[in-house]
Structure 1
Amino acid sequence: MNPTFRGIAYVSVWVVIWGTVASLMDWMLLTGEVYETGTAGQATTFIAYGAATVVLATRFAGRFLATDDPSETPDQK
């Protein structure tokens, strides 16, 4: 598989995961009246989940972005 496509797909999946998980948590906090829409609490929720997602994506990148073929280098097209 093309390394560029693999990288784009990997990042795209993590963006969807971040958006889904952060939105679900935001919805729970909004319905629980922990904070209101547009407040710093809402921004903090999305920033915190974004940071956690970056850490996880970086940590798992080696498993998913490793080339299948040892002779294939990231510079090959």
Structure 2
Amino acid sequence: MNQPLLSVNNLTHLYAPGKGFSDVSFDLWPGEVLGIVGESGSGKTTLLKSISARLTPQQGEFATRTVRCTR
């Protein structure tokens, strides 16, 4: 297959100014390793909850090879 395992486009979820994440985009391909790093409150957990569909993002989209979520 010639498509990423995970594709994230312009995903945003903000709790307050500077809390959460804004306009995150990336593709994760087979064999790649992705690290999520940042200060406390920078949105790491919120991003992962959004990608795992435990939290609905305010805007953007993500897709796996079998699931697509658009907001």
Compare relative contact order (CA 8 Å, sep 6+) and give the higher one, 1 or 2: 1
Superposed pair shares fold, TM > 0.5: no
Tell me the TM-score normalised to structure 2 length.
Answer: 0.29
Give the structure with higher Rg (CA).
1
Between Structure 1 and Structure 2, which shows a larger proportion of strand residues? 2
